[in-house]
Amino acid sequence: MFSLIASQKSKIKPSILLIIIFFILILVSSPTFESGGADYETVNYKGQKLSILRDSLTQAPVIIRGIESNLLEIKKFSKLSRKEITNTGIPLVSKYKSLLQIEPDQLKLKTAEKISDTWYVSYWQTFQGVIIYESSLGYAIDSRGRIKSLGALLYPYVQAPVTSKISHEKALKIGQGQIKDFKKLKCILLAESILIYPLKKKNSIDYYRVYAFNFFPEVALHPASVVGGWAVFIDTQTGKQVLYEELLKPLGCCIPEDWVPPKPEDMKPKW
């Protein structure tokens, strides 16, 4: 919820959103879970029966689960390196891209963590190389290389500016001006990035290209402090504030790993 990009020195573990997605994955993988609920649909996709829950606004899948089958089975999984495991989103999205409505090259690695014998992998969705705020695609890979379900928060058909009209310096001053007693509190810019911010309305979504700033008062940097900070998003086209949120100190920022999706043809021998 409070994800921004910062310097490599500020690395923090997975966000709350990722934990929620993993909880969903555990839920839908449970033997007691019934996929025939009113909100779920059963789809025959290229000969495979799937249970799908869609977002009511975007109609993009929130959950996809195989019925009596796995979404993907990765061959020779135990021999894969961590880097190869972080690339497993490529064949997964390639296989289901007409359902997910995104391309494999729109993925950017968020986290890849191994717990016991299971890998948990999560990505951001990007638009023209820019991360979409709070987007996510996550799944678990068991010890046999099986992906049984995925959870996602995706945005098909994004329409957003690809350049900025407002300078970084001007946007930073505007952002600082949103914080009451900014100078008195000796606020520090702890993290910043350019993001795509989707503002959901009742029947539509407005997409903003924003400068995203995380400000924290100097006192918040002390290890024992429980003082929080603020996230301020400034529209790169108009200079207007589009988001203002208070931040809890432990959830100030979250860093994507440096990761460039390989070409699908480069991955084929692995599967």
Residue range 130-147, pLDDT digits in tens: 999 999 999 999 999 999
Instruction: Convert 155-176 to b/e letters by CB count within 10 Å (16 or more is b).
Output: beebebbeeeebeeeebbebbe
CA distances from 178 to 5, 159, 174, 230, 252 (A): 20, 27, 7, 10, 18
pLDDT at 37: 47
Quote the pLDDT of residue 105: 95
Burial tier of 47 (Cβ tally within 10 Å: 0-12, 13-18, 19+): exposed
Q: What is the pLDDT of residue 39?
A: 87
- How distant is the alpha carbon of residue 127 from its chain centre? 12
The DSSP code for 165 is S
54 within 8 A of 60, measured Cβ to Cβ: yes
- The SS3 of residue 107 is strand
* pLDDT above 70 coverage of the chain, percent: 77
Give the model's pLDDT for residue 26: 46
Tokens of 219: 């006192």
Instruction: Give residue 262's pLDDT.
Output: 56
Torsion over CA: 190, 261, 236, 17 (sign): negative
Residue 13 confidence (pLDDT): 44
Rounded distance between C-alpha atoms, residue 98 and residue 6, angstroms: 33
Distance (Å, whole) CA 182 – CA 216: 9
Q: Which stretches of the chain drop beneath a pLDDT of 70?
A: 1-38, 249-271
**Burial class of residue 266 (count of CB atoms within 10 Å of its CB; 0-12, 13-18, 19+):** exposed
The two three-digit tokens of residue 55, written as one number: 């977002």
Q: What is the pLDDT of residue 191?
A: 87
